[in-house]
Amino acid sequence: MSPQAEVVTARLRKTWLQWWTFSFWSGAILAAAVSLATLVLFVLVDALLKLPQRALVSLFAVWAVLSLAAVAALLVRQQRGRRSLAATARRVELAFPELESHLINLVQFAGRDGLEADPFRQAAITQSAAAVAGFPFDQAATRENRWRRFLLCMQTPARSLRVVRVAHAGPGPGRAL
């Protein structure tokens, strides 16, 4: 592989590591928030209702199991959702269509061992590396501004509420599901 292709691949690996780290810590914070919110809810219930000792022990057990389940879900998600270098290249190309498949070509051709002498492969790697060498693809995760990401994030709950509202109302005159 050419030195230029190795530099691009190293930058892509760095981008992958940044995304993985961000994803891990986002999930860890979410798991901690769910655990803390559950604990606060149980403390409030105890403060308002003055629960007996057995109820407190069972609430503590529920909280502990929920916290462990959140940590387990985080670890499973991280293990199952591990993105390959080719998948990272695909995600970067989705954010930057102007890359025109050069990055994925570079990753796929460079990843094939035993074909070092193939001139077509070497030419494709060199062309792809030259096309993406100066491209700031490490900024793909921040391509959208915060407001746009917030709006995209809020579309799912809003759509879910609309579906529940329509399903709850049921079919009626002039209403179709």
User: In this predicted model, what pLDDT tens digit does every residue of 117-164 receive, in sequence order?
Assistant: 678 888 888 899 888 888 887 777 666 666 666 666 666 666 666 655
- Provide Rg for the chain, Cα atoms: 25
Give the pLDDT of residue 16.
87
List the chain domain ranges.
3-143, 144-177
Higher pLDDT, 40 or 78: 40
Tokens encoding 128: 């792809």
Percent of the chain with pLDDT over 70: 75
Per mean pLDDT, which range of 47-51, 91-95, 170-174 is the poorest? 170-174
Q: Is the pLDDT of residue 76 over 50?
A: yes
Q: Is the pLDDT of residue 115 over 60?
A: no
Alpha-carbon gap, residue 85 to 8, rounded angstroms: 12
Alpha-helix residue ranges (DSSP H) falling in the chain? 3-49, 53-80, 85-95, 102-110, 119-132, 146-169
Contact 97, 126 (CB under 8 A): no
Give the pLDDT of residue 177.
46
Higher pLDDT, 83 or 161: 83
Contact 34, 156 (CB under 8 A): no
